[in-house]
């Protein structure tokens, strides 16, 4: 395997000849060393760990950040290889997702970045099949974070790669609404807007289109027309000299409001009110943190891997609870009825289970 990986490093330089991601994928997948490594891992799945180790080694190499990363094409090819192994079920480990995280730290990379961000887009496609609300949450957790880090090129490439035919109207509207503020920093925004606008009209004439995907020309113009050249309100356009207002999330804005109220309460001498507001602020943060982490993890590792890890953790918890030993339950929030069997709307479609167990000396 070591010799094959060395050959792949040499051969992967051909990727630099590609004019786009599609051609780069074809070049990489047709490299002789790529094919041989793929077949080897297919026969011996545990060998995938050597690909991951190579990614970790290459991404940690010192490079001159004044120039493009000389390891870009090689890491791109390795990521592509791990991604294909994972997608075809040959490698069920988290190797691709760990490698993707390593590649995030690579400075001045282009090709390997296209694999990472294309994976985010595929996650959005997958979520749309199950829940449009989840896909919207995912977008609002990831895209603003990229804007906050001023990764405008990253978002612009996502707009280029996005297949509008695979997304529901509500998702497309959210993306347009979210990105319009940065129109001056996204060269392909207007092209993306036009594709979305045309797709809305195309669905009007599609015989098998979902009823809730069809809009009248007037509705389409009202929804999308105002975003053609950027945000409908001129003052909402991104301004790098005053970008704090634009970049703050809803949670950050709420936190500022609460802090302002705490300051006011202290100023008028109402310490009890200030303490209550501080407690409320901490509770909001405590409740919001799991949601934020959930979306970040799912975006990073993908829906399939997230479900697998969740199921694995739940089984481990159930096994531990049933086993006698040095542990006991200290808190639980259980559904009163079997999952999804509730009579009201909420209990039919949402269930929550929370159990806390203590192990070790405290449980002995």
pLDDT tens digits along 311-342: 888 888 888 888 877 777 878 877 776 776 65
| pLDDT number for residue 246 | 46
CB 171 within 8 A of CB 135: yes
pTM of the model: 0.52
Distant-in-sequence, close-in-space partners of 338: CB < 8 Å, separation ≥ 6: none
| pLDDT number for residue 100 | 77
pLDDT digits (tens), the chain, 364 positions:
889 999 999 999 998 888 777 788 889 999 999 999 999 988 888 888 889 889 889 988 888 888 888 998 999 899 889 888 887 778 766 777 778 778 877 887 877 776 766 666 776 776 666 556 666 766 776 787 778 767 788 788 888 888 888 888 888 888 998 899 899 999 999 999 999 999 998 888 777 666 666 778 888 888 889 899 888 876 577 777 665 544 555 667 778 888 999 999 999 999 899 889 888 888 877 777 777 677 667 666 666 777 888 888 888 888 888 887 777 787 887 777 677 665 655 555 566 778 888 876 554 4
The b-or-e profile of 129-139 (16+ CB within 10 A means b, else e) is eeebebbbbbb
| pLDDT number for residue 343 | 60
Q: Is 167 helix (H, G, I), strand (E, B) or coil?
A: coil
Residue with tokens 């496609």: 125
| pLDDT number for residue 188 | 93
Structure tokens, 127: 């979520």
| pLDDT number for residue 191 | 94
CA distance 292 to 137: 10
């Amino acid at each position: 395997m070591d010799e094959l990986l060395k050959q792949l490093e040499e051969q992967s330089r051909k990727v630099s000849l590609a004019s786009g991601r599609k051609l780069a994928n074809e070049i990489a997948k047709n490299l002789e060393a790529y094919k041989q490594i793929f077949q080897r891992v297919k026969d011996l799945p545990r060998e995938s760990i050597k690909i991951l180790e190579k990614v970790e080694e290459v991404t940690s190499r010192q490079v001159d950040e004044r120039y493009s990363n000389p390891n870009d094409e090689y890491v791109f090819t390795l990521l592509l290889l791990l991604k294909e192994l994972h997608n075809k079920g040959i490698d069920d480990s988290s190797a691709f997702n760990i490698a993707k995280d390593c590649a995030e730290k690579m400075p001045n990379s282009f090709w390997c970045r296209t694999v990472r961000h294309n994976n985010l887009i595929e996650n959005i496609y997958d979520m749309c099949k199950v829940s449009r609300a989840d896909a919207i949450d995912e977008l609002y957790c990831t895209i603003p974070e990229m804007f906050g880090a001023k990764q405008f090129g990253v978002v612009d490439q996502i707009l280029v790669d996005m297949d509008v035919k695979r997304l529901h109207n509500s998702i497309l509207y959210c993306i347009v609404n979210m990105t319009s503020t940065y129109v001056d920093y996204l060269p392909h925004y207007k092209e993306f807007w036009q594709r979305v606008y045309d797709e809305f009209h195309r669905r009007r004439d599609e015989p098998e289109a979902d009823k809730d995907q069809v809009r009248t020309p007037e509705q389409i113009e009202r929804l999308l027309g105002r975003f053609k050249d950027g945000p409908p309100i001129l003052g909402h356009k991104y301004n790098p000299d005053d970008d704090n207002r634009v970049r703050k999330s809803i949670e950050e804005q709420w936190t500022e409001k609460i802090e302002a109220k705490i300051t006011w309460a202290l100023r008028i001498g109402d310490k009890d009110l200030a303490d209550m507001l501080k407690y409320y602020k901490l509770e909001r943060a405590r409740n919001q943190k799991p949601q934020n982490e959930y979306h970040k993890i799912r975006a990073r590792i993908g829906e399939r891997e997230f479900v697998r890890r969740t199921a694995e953790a739940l089984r481990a918890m159930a096994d531990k609870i049933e086993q006698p030993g040095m542990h006991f339950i200290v808190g639980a929030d259980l559904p009163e009825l079997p999952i999804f069997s509730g009579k009201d709307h909420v209990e039919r479609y949402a269930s929550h289970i929370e159990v806390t167990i203590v192990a070790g000396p405290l449980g002995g």
